[in-house]
Chain A
Amino acid sequence: MTNESKFENWNFLPEEMKLSCIRFMDFKTRYRLRATSHTERRLVEAQKFSWKSVKMRSWRRRKEIRLNFGFRPKTSIYYNENQIESMIVPLLSFIFNTVKLGKFDFSWANFEFYQHLGHFVASSPYQIDSVSGTFSFQTLQFLNNFAPNSIKHLHLEYEPEGHEGRFPINQFILYPIINSIKLWNLTVETIPDYERIARKWMEIDVDVGSVMFFNYYENRTTDDFISGMEDYTVVQKSPSLVRMEMKDKEKHMVLYVTYKWNKKCFIKIVASDFPESQVTDLILRS
């Protein structure tokens, strides 16, 4: 290391100048600078930057964090199973607290890998546009770290661990981020009150393409569904199907319920001109 490459007056720079310098540092440098002291950590986390996506994947005992900065090359960092706590958690914590992220995807991670998400504490609210993965009751807490209005697309599969039980709809519906999500893709095995999701979707006027798959297990009819949605106009109704207008009349909500064990029930948002004949296709595909 030569004298010319030193800048020992760093600590005498005003913080706004330090932040300007950090702006020119790449991810690896910022991560290392963050490790030098509490002051630098605070500064590094205050200087946000943008990435396209982060994916977590499990390859048996090998764990992969795949980083897409929005330009080539993409970077993959591999860890062993026993490095989750010591290496992966600090890295992800840094990313979530510092990066404005297009997408966070852990749908290819196994439970032992993603269970740590539930333990993250946000030093600043996370800004992630799209989240995709399998949640348990424990990891659902992760969604509470997000800045309100940050998340636009949620692709969530709910798989309770052990005795966690049904999807915690009462808790979920209160997360501040819920109100900004315009595109949904939910799969839940059992949901105690699916009408609450439907009402929330009506309220926030979610986008065409949003869908929730679930298993029907309570003796509730389409009439019960309609009775909770009196403000909206029903345009089609049968014992197993309801189609109703949303706030934006260009969109319709379709509810399909069935008792068949091999078929999923669903709520889906379609365009108002979506042909009635194709609703059957939707049912068959589900």
Chain B
Amino acid sequence: MSVEPEVPIVQVEEVRENPVLYKIISSDNHVFTISEHAVKLSKTLWDLITNLGLTAENALDNPIPVENVNGKNMETIVQFCERHKYDEEEPEYTNYIREFVLPEWDRQLLSIDNEELFQLILATNYLDIQKLMDYCCRVIGDMAKDKTPEELRIIYGIPTDAEDDALERSASDSPGPSG
């Protein structure tokens, strides 16, 4: 596999502890390096690496193209995975609200605008990174705290039932694709 990067390689974090590194190319051709422990947090990427038979010897010569994730999101994801690569496995929570702690570092990382957070959560879902998915959901869930139903409609852009019905009616009234 040989993809010529159009932009310089972004070295997110120098990894000394583990010599095995992988290269990932985002949809907009940014190239990232990521350590083996970090990349294992993404089930999708690790399955890909395993299926491609990449090893310590050939990993850097075979960048992995990820067409569904742009460079901005990939940078956040690589930062996240490097940060949490040695974390212990999450315990079985009985009460997510009280027991699940969102560290301040991650809260800062996820302090991004509506559209960026949406793109990040879709990328996280595609790459199947459970921990980052939980953190994103926690951030979105926390936005609702102590808000009235009216405020929640504004925060989440939730249409009223009447608006929802009107949207459905106009969708069903439209002629749709011809042919």
Contacts and interface: CB of A to CB of B under 8 A. Distances in A.
A74 interface: no
A7 B143 contact: yes
A10 to B, nearest CB: 4
B125 interface: yes
A261 interface: no
Nearest to B98: A71
A20 B114 CA distance: 17
Nearest to B133: A20
Contacts of A6: 114, 143, 154-157
28 contacts: A1-B155, A3-B113, A3-B114, A6-B143, A6-B156, A7-B114, A7-B117, A7-B157, A8-B114, A9-B117, A11-B157, A11-B158, A17-B125, A17-B133, A21-B137, A21-B141, A23-B137, A23-B141, A24-B141, A29-B141, A29-B144, A32-B149, A35-B149, A36-B152, A36-B160, A37-B158, A38-B164, A50-B95
A218 interface: no
Contacts of B118: 7, 9, 12-13
Interface string B105-148: 00000010111011001000100000001100110111111111
B5 interface: no
B140 A7 contact: yes
Contact of A33 (B100, B146, B152, B157): B152
B149 A7 contact: no
Nearest to B119: A9
Contact of B144 (A23, A25, A70): A25
A40 B94 CA distance: 23
A10 B157 contact: yes
A32 B161 contact: no
A39 interface: yes
Interface residues of B, number: 40
A101 B160 CA distance: 31
Contacts of A9: 114-115, 117-118, 157
A89 to B, nearest CB: 18
B108 to A, nearest CB: 12
B1 interface: no
A22 interface: yes
Name the 4 nearest CB pairs between A and B, nearest first.
Answer: A24-B141, A8-B157, A10-B156, A9-B118
Contacts of A22: 141
Contact of A37 (B94, B114, B160): B160
B171 interface: no
B95 A70 contact: yes
A21 B97 CA distance: 11
Nearest to A20: B137
Given A9-B114, A10-B156, A70-B95, A29 B161 contact: no
A10 B140 contact: yes
Given A24-B141, A38-B161, A70-B95, A8 B156 contact: yes
B158 A40 contact: yes
Contacts of B144: 25, 29, 32-33
Given A9-B114, A20-B134, A29-B146, A37 B159 contact: yes
A17 B137 contact: yes
A25 B148 contact: no
B86 interface: no
A273 interface: no
B72 interface: no
Contact of A24 (B121, B125, B138): B138
A100 to B, nearest CB: 11
B140 A1 contact: no
Interface string A60-73: 00000000001100
A96 to B, nearest CB: 20
Given A3-B113, A4-B111, 7 more contacts: A7-B114, A7-B118, A9-B114, A22-B141, A24-B138, A38-B164, A49-B95
B154 A1 contact: yes
Contact of B96 (A13, A24, A32): A24
B93 to A, nearest CB: 9
A33 B153 CA distance: 8
B161 A37 contact: yes
B47 interface: no
